[in-house]
Amino acid sequence: MKQGVDLGFKLAMLTIACLLFLAASATWIAPHDPEKAQPQLRLKDPSYEYPLGTDHLGRCIFSRIVFGIRISLFIGIAVVLFSSLIGMVLGVAAGYFGGVVDETIMRVVDAFLSFPSIFLALAVIGFLGSGIANLMLSLILVDWTGYARLVRSTVLALKGKEFLEAAKSLGASDLYIMSRHILPNILPSLLVMATLSVGYVILGAASLSFLGLGVQPPTPEWGAMMNDARPFLRTHPLVMIFPGIAITTVVLAFNLLGEGIRVQLDPKFRAESSYGYEK
Amino acid sequence: MLSFLLRRLLLLLPVLLLVSIISFSLFYLSPGDPAEVLLTGPQGPPDPKAVEEFRAREGFNDPAPVMYVRWLSKVVRGDLGYSFTSGEKVSDAVFSSFLPTLRLSLISLFISLLISIPMGILSAVRRGSAIDGLGLSLSLLGVSVPNFWLAYLLIILFALRLDILPVAGYGDGGDIEHMILPALTLGISAAAVTGRMMRTSMLEVMEQDYIVAARARGLTERSVVLRHALRNALLPVVTMVGLNFTYLLNGSAVVETVFAWPGIGSLMTRSIYCRDFPVILGCMLFLSLLTISLNLLTDVCYRYCNPRLIHETGS
């Protein structure tokens, strides 16, 4: 099992490294312009010239998938950075100050958690309009609550520990204690959650784009590509299948990476593996 | 128990108030003029005079807090207004679309438990084996696959290649034929989550003293697992059914659209496409109320099933 996680972790790192490389060098690797329509070449089967075939407008699917990595990684990482930052600041404040601050922040968290996440994202886009900026805003509004809760409970667990008392008695300011003593203790669990989140955010972005409410055409985004493929499902199922494989690969890689980091950081798992298994 | 319930209910008041503020703010912040959207008919852009008159009559010219209070006082009386597009009462539209969603969710829930409970037991009992590895890999894959893609894979296989099930639709009042594929899609996604939970819970129980005691009494492994461990391990999984239901609701937003299932997910997306603001607001409020109730129910169930908790926290 431990070996399984280790193998998965290595595979995930390799996959993500490959994805980053592909995203950075998409311009050189993609054989065609991802947005160039060629009506005479529509819905061609995979060939040497078009490795994954062409879509309903004659655009190269392989090139679109390669360029799609950029969009998905950008949305996933940017949304997670913003929402974890918001969640961290509010979570530390709630846990550290307690009282009214805590009550207020946590009731807001509860209110946001009262909406099923995708419906909240849908409502934000429904009122504010579709497009990549509102898509990211909607995903941030859904994502930040998890970090706030996690950070708050970690801070509460740290409260009253001797090293914090010591820092306080030496005259350290609240800000100093929070940034120098509390933050380093929060980062490991935050890192695990953030890594796992990147996968879910990418999945959410793809779902909303699939509904036509996220990234707008002709930008190559995987969910939007699958939306385009709907009318041709009967005759050209491959056009639907390829972008799905891309999404699954990326999300799987981030999930494995998150699990891997969790195992690396959690001494409980490490101890477990040295005992071996009873069965 | 009663004081716990009362305290929980009291805590809900500020949350409900915040939910209404968030919903109203989104509505208020939306670009464009709802009056103009509403009065734009097939004849083209509306008469500016009519728009102005409408705004005055409906109170769209008032400051935001006044609009909010007026809106809220209607909402608490159950008046969610009328749909911009169909003219139907929003509460009727939301309720009538919720029934198909409920049917689909219940069947999906059943499917997910049918897959995840045996999978979780097997994984936990044969911990570290190939079966456990397979179970964990499958559940990891299950949470990584976009559910709308899974839906299309099932459509391609069962509806287009094998041609044994309909591609989409509600059929004759949501008959079983039309329900299988959407329910399977949602069920598989949910099973991935529940399966892991079942495994963890089972592993925890298997380390308890009473399992050692049962083994020491010479009971067969089968009896230890099924009679002693399973009953206790099921507890957290069953109490989490409420949470599962929320997970299924989330999935339904996209899956219902794929299968043209006339549930609340389809209603929501359709209302967004035609900017039917009252219906979007109605869906939001209804779903948040549902989620809040489910969470409360989960908490109460959990306490009811674990009397130990009451003594520990001294509530």
DSSP assignments along A126-164, one per residue: HHH--SHHHHHHHHHHHHHHHHHHHHHHHHHHHTT-HHH
CB atoms within 10 A of CB B193: 18
What is the interface pTM, i.e. ipTM, of the complex? 0.87
Q: Residue range A62-75: average pLDDT? A: 91
Please report the pLDDT score of residue B216 as a whole number. Answer: 86
Residue A129 has a pLDDT of 86
| Residue A90 pLDDT | 94
Q: Residue A271: which pLDDT band, with cuts at 50, 70 and 90? A: very low
pLDDT of residue A252: 93
pLDDT over 60 (residue A272): no
Chain A to chain B Cβ contacts (< 8 Å): 144
Residues in B touching A125 (Cβ below 8 Å): 272
Please give the residue that has the higher pLDDT: either B95 or A269: B95
CA dist A224 and B99 (Å) reads 30
d(CA B128, CA A79): 36
* pLDDT score, position A219: 87
**Nearest CB partner across the interface for B146, out of A117, A203, A279:** A203
Q: Which of B23, B145, B152 sits opposite A248 (nearest CB)?
A: B145
Cα torsion angle, A151, A156, A159, A161, sign? negative
> What does the block give as tokens for B197?
């939970």
In terms of Cβ atoms closer than 10 Å to its own Cβ (0-12, 13-18, 19+), residue B216 is exposed
What pLDDT is attached to residue B42?
59
Q: Which residue has the higher pLDDT, A80 or B40?
A: A80
- Under an 8 A CB cutoff, do A252 and B31 touch? no
Nearest residue, CB atoms, A128 vs list B30, B254, B257: B30
Contact criterion met (CB < 8 Å) for B146 and A206: yes
The alpha carbon of residue B175 is apart from the nearest alpha carbon of chain A, in Å, by 24
CA distance A57 to A228: 10
Most confident of A153-167, A190-204, B67-81: A190-204
Q: Could B272 and A125 be called an inter-chain contact, meaning their C-beta atoms sit closer than 8 Å?
A: yes
The SS3 of residue B170 is coil
Closest partner residue to B26 (CB to CB) among A124, A212, A251 is A124
Cα B24 to Cα B67: distance, rounded to the nearest angstrom: 9
Across the interface, whether the CB atoms of A207 and B133 are under 8 A apart is answered: no
Chain segment A14-42, per-residue pLDDT in tens: 999 999 998 888 888 878 788 877 778 77
Select from B73, B44, B19, B103 the least CA-distant residue to A116: B19
Mind listing the pLDDT tens digit for each residue in B126-152? Answer: 888 888 888 888 888 998 999 999 999
**Nearest residue of chain B to residue A134 (CA atoms):** B30
Q: For residues A229 and A55, give the distance between their C-alpha atoms in angstroms, rounded to a whole number.
A: 8
Average of per-residue pLDDT across A222-232: 89
Tokens of B55: 């705004």
Does A255 contact B128 at a Cβ distance shorter than 8 Å?
Answer: no
B149 contacts A247? CB cut-off 8 A = yes
Per-residue model confidence (pLDDT) at position A274: 38
CB of B67 closer than 8 Å to CB of B28: yes
> Which has more confidence, B48 or A90?
A90
Listed as ranges, residues in chain B with pLDDT below 50 are 313-315
Residue A223: closest CA among B103, B152, B228, B275: B152
- Close Cβ partners of B46 (under 8 Å, ≥ 6 residues apart): B36, B39, B40
Phi–psi pair at A126, nearest 5 degrees: -60, -40
Helices (H), ranges, chain B: 2-29, 34-39, 48-58, 64-76, 90-125, 130-144, 147-154, 176-206, 209-216, 221-223, 230-239, 241-258, 264-273, 277-305, 307-313
Helix B277-305 to helix B241-258 angle (10° resolution) is: 150
